[in-house]
Amino acid sequence: MRAALVSGAGIGIGAATAKILGREGYHVFVSDILPVEGEAVAADIRAGGGSAEFVALDVSDTDACVAAIASIEARFGGLSALVANAGIAPRAAYPILTDEKWDHVLDVNLKGQLRLIRAAAPAMSARQQGAIVCVSSIAGAVVGWDDHWHYSAAKAGITGMVKAAACALAKDNVRVNAVAPGFIRTAQILSEENSLGPVGLAAAEGTVPMGRAGHASEIGEVIAFLLSDKASYLTGQTIVVDGGLTISL
Q: Is residue 109 part of a domain?
A: yes
**pLDDT at residue 203 in the model:** 87
**pLDDT at residue 85 in the model:** 98
How many independent structural domains does the chain possess? 1
**pLDDT at residue 154 in the model:** 97
Residues in the chain where the model's pLDDT stays below 70:
192
Q: Is residue 246 part of a domain?
A: no
The separation between CA 78 and the C-alpha centre of its own chain, rounded to angstroms, equals: 19
Residue 233 falls in the annotated catalytic set: no
Q: Is residue 248 part of a domain?
A: no
Q: For the whole model, what pTM was predicted?
A: 0.96
Q: Is residue 249 part of a domain?
A: no
**pLDDT at residue 227 in the model:** 98
Select which of 26, 94, 151, 233 is catalytic.
151
* b/e per residue 2-39 (b: at least 16 CB within 10 A): bbbbbbbbbbbbbbbbbbbbbeeebbbbbbbbbeebbb
User: For residue 43, what is the domain's CATH number?
Assistant: 3.40.50.720
**pLDDT at residue 83 in the model:** 98
Q: What is the pLDDT of residues 196-238, one digit of tens each?
A: 788 888 888 889 999 999 999 999 999 999 999 999 999 999 9
Q: Is residue 214 part of a domain?
A: yes
Q: Is residue 163 part of a domain?
A: yes
Q: Is residue 126 part of a domain?
A: yes
Domain that holds residue 205: 3-241
Q: How far apart are CA 185 and CA 43, in angstroms?
A: 23
Q: Is residue 14 part of a domain?
A: yes
